[in-house]
């Protein structure tokens, strides 16, 4: 290879690299809430805050544009199809003072949880127990862990591998309904199950 070709080759790669483009498109949220993303490049920073707002960078220069569902599907369809399902959260409630008695409505909700797990090829779960403010902090910490363990055992009995389930207890520290100390509140006697 002569000297001119050796000099031209890196220049060609530099020019080709400059031709590359980067594209960012803000997708709508699954639940309809507003979302936004900040795009930073050599020109500065811009916020994309409307569904399908886009930014494309070519030849080192960025410009904004409005994409569409059809364009997103055409460009990103394969990548979007490969995404894992979004996590889903469920709450089951316990009867007062109990570590193993779910409320009747929660038994039905647990069936929904099992169906969600079955629909995912490699489900992983986080199970977090909670209590109301009746009893001491230490007792409620133990009670919340026991509730989480009960739900974990129910999930294992339903066929989920134990190593796919993380458990934790929060005691009375994260109430759904804030109350004074020693107030019984059924919504705070719960276990939150996150399926991902």
Tens of pLDDT along 113-158? 999 999 998 899 999 999 999 999 999 999 999 999 999 999 999 9
List C-alpha distances in Å: 77 to 8, 66, 70.
Answer: 37, 17, 9
In terms of CATH architecture, what is 88-195?
A: 2-Layer Sandwich (3.30)
More confident residue, 121 or 175: 175
Distance between CA 147 and CA 175 in Å, rounded? Answer: 15
- Dihedral pair phi/psi, residue 126, rounded to 5°: -120, 130
Domain ranges of the chain: 19-81, 88-195
Please report which confidence band the pLDDT of residue 16 belongs to, taking 50, 70 and 90 as the band edges.
very low
> What average pLDDT does range 37-56 have in this prediction?
87
Element (H, E) at 122: none
What does pTM read for this prediction?
0.69
Dist CA 72 CA 174 (whole Å): 40
Which pLDDT belongs to residue 84?
84
Burial class (CB in 10 A: 0-12, 13-18, 19+), 120: middle
Neighbours of 185 (CB within 10 A): 19
pLDDT given at position 98: 81
* pLDDT, position 20: 55
What tokens appear for 158 in the block?
């339903």
3-class SS of residue 102: strand
Query: In angstroms, rounded to a whole number, what is the distance separating the alpha carbons of residues 166 and 149?
Result: 10
Q: What is the DSSP letter of 60?
A: T
- Which residue, among 137, 149, 146, 139, has the nearest Cα to 174 in the 3D structure? 137
Q: 59: phi > 0 → left, psi -120 to 50 → alpha, else beta; which?
A: left
Residue 72 has pLDDT above 60, yes or no: yes
């Amino acid at each position: 290879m002569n000297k001119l070709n050796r000099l031209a080759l890196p220049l060609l790669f530099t020019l080709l690299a400059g031709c590359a483009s980067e594209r960012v498109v803000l997708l709508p949220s699954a639940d309809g809430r507003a979302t936004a993303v900040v795009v930073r490049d050599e020109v500065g920073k811009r916020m994309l805050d409307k569904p399908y707002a886009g930014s494309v960078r070519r030849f080192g220069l960025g410009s904004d544009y409005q994409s569409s569902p059809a364009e997103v599907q055409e460009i990103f369809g394969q990548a979007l199809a490969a995404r894992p399902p979004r996590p889903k959260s469920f709450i089951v409630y316990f009867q007062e003072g109990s570590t193993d008695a779910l409320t009747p409505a929660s038994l039905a909700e647990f069936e929904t949880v099992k169906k969600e797990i079955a629909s995912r090829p490699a489900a992983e779960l986080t199970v977090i127990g909670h209590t109301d403010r009746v009893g001491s902090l230490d007792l409620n910490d133990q009670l919340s862990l026991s509730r989480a363990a009960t739900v974990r055992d129910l999930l294992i009995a339903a066929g989920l591998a134990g190593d796919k389930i993380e458990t934790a207890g929060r005691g009375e520290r994260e109430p759904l309904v804030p109350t004074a100390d020693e107030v019984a509140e059924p919504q705070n006697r719960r276990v939150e199950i996150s399926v991902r």
